[in-house]
Amino acid sequence: MKHTHHLFAALLGLVFLLPACRWLEVNPDQYILAEDALETPEDLQALLVSCYDVLANLYDGDVQLMNELRGDNTNEPLSNNDFKAIYNRETIRWTSYVGGV
């Protein structure tokens, strides 16, 4: 009787553990391996577009404006102190949202 309980527990454990082996072998669809990432020119184009999409929102889309303020062809902004700090090159790490640009 004692051996029957151990045998039943072992069989029950196998019933629950064997399907888990197949579950662990499934490759996730949301990840791309490095060797499969860029196989065609279309893949490279998609990567470039995604990089532009992420960088477009850098500093709330004001990166082009900040670069223009650093140039010689603009007047000092009158309305925004953050933009004045960029224009006057007075930014430090803790200056509002520009953070050391």
Model pLDDT for residues 56-84, shown as the tens digit of each residue: 777 676 777 777 777 777 777 767 777 77
Note down the domain range covering 75: 59-100
Task: Determine, yes or no, domain membership for 37.
Answer: no
What residues contact 76, with CB distance under 8 A and at least 6 apart? 84, 87, 88
98 — pLDDT class (breaks 50, 70, 90): low
pLDDT at 42: 92
Model pLDDT for residues 15-57, shown as the tens digit of each residue: 676 666 665 666 667 777 778 888 899 989 998 998 888 887 7
Task: Determine, yes or no, domain membership for 51.
Answer: no
C-beta of residue 97 within 8 angstroms of C-beta of residue 82: yes
Task: Determine, yes or no, domain membership for 49.
Answer: no
Task: Determine, yes or no, domain membership for 17.
Answer: no
Number of separate domains in the chain? 1
Phi-psi region of 72 (alpha: psi -120 to 50; beta: other; left: phi over 0): alpha
Task: Determine, yes or no, domain membership for 26.
Answer: no
pTM: 0.38
